[in-house]
Amino acid sequence: MAKAKNQPEGEAFLAAIPEEKKIRSLGVIMDGNGRWAKARALPRTAGHIAGAKVVPRLIGDLRELGVRTVTLYAFSTENWKRPKPEVDALMGLLARYMKEVVIPKIESDPGFGVRFLGDLGKLSPDLADLCRRAERMGQGREFLCNIAFNYGGREEILHAANEAIAAGELPLTEEILERHLYTAGIPDPDLIIRTAGESRLSGFLLWQAAYSEIYITKTLWPDFSREDLVAALCDYYRRTRRFGGLAPEEGSL
Ligand code: IPE
Ligand code: IPE
Ligand code: MG
């Protein structure tokens, strides 16, 4: 919602964006938890705990700013390469977060739902059940938070292709493949924000990111604030998206 007086410049700019131009879907690569912890001489796990705490605030900010779908990259198919204690801590954190934050939120807020993207089959059965239960409880809600967990873009595309082939849906088309992606029915991200400065996708939404705008900030994920979000959104709205065509003002000789 627009804050009337003393509204910072970026917020005022965002409040004036017409509805039809608004971001429908945002992706976030939440990186930098380890570096945040290291800078404080804390264990990496403390960085992951601090990072998880940012998410509810981010979701509140997104809803205020009119973004209704967000996809958070929380654990990649490659993150299993980390030392077992860190992987175990991340699994434990998801379980705790589901029980203490996500499920109570879905119960108390009729506008909030979650969906998991990725292969939950590699998680413990209890944790996978918790995730599936949360998805069922929050189906069809106005705000959708997708959690990419044990997610990898290559795995997703292969999984979708194999499902389509098994169903005899050949020859494959974009539409057929998209129906089998974990993101079926979710708009492609208009904007992907990556924190902590790396200029890469690390497997995030490889199919869906074909025409996504990408915004990289040096801010480490646990420090990501509303100001950082507003800066990213303002940057996005100042860009011209062409999708391979021409911008309207470029269309005449
Ligand atoms: C992102 O933070 C969280 C996960 C990948 C699970 P990192 O743990 O990658 O933090 P850095 O990149 O080491 O700082
Ligand atoms: C990407 O971060 C994955 C998540 C944020 C979950 P990484 O820290 O795993 O990426 P790389 O290894 O730097 O590419
Ligand atoms: Mg990292």
Residue nearest atom 6 in ligand 1 by C-alpha distance: 75
* Structural domain that includes position 77: 23-153+190-238
- Distance separating alpha carbons of residues 222 and 34, to the nearest angstrom: 10
Q: Is residue 6 part of a domain?
A: no
Interval between CA 62 and ligand 3 midpoint (Å) = 23
Annotated catalytic residue 31: yes
Question: Does residue 48 form part of some domain?
Answer: yes
In a domain, 30, yes or no: yes
pLDDT for position 2: 47
Q: Which ligand is nearest to the CA of 148?
A: 2
Residue 18 lies in a domain: no
* 3-state class (DSSP) for residue 227: helix
Distance of CA 208 to the CA centre of its chain: 12
- The answer on pLDDT for 225 being more than 70 is yes
Instruction: Name the average pLDDT for the chain.
Output: 96
Q: Using a 6 Å cutoff on CB, does residue 202 contact ligand 2?
A: yes
Atom of ligand 2 nearest to the CA of 78: 9
Domain count, the chain: 1
Strand partners, 148: 73, 117
Pick the more confident residue, 195 or 249. Answer: 195
Does this model's pTM top 0.85? My answer is: yes
pLDDT > 90: percent of the chain: 94
**Residues with Cβ within 6 A of ligand 1?**
30-35, 75, 79, 90, 196
| Residues, CB within 5 angstroms of ligand 3 (ion) | 31
pLDDT of residue 221 exceeding 50, the answer is yes
- Domain assignment of residue 81, yes or no: yes
75 C-beta closer than 6 A to ligand 2: yes
66 is written with which tokens?
């009119």
**pLDDT band at residue 249 using 50, 70 and 90 as cut-offs:** confident
The verdict on residue 134 lying in a domain is yes
Nearest alpha-carbon partner for 27 in 62, 53, 51, 54? 62
Whether residue 45 lies inside any domain: the answer is yes
- Which of these ranges, 55-64, 135-144, 244-253, has the smallest mean pLDDT? 244-253
Provide the CATH number for the domain around residue 66: 3.40.1180.10
The answer to whether position 205 is within a domain reads yes
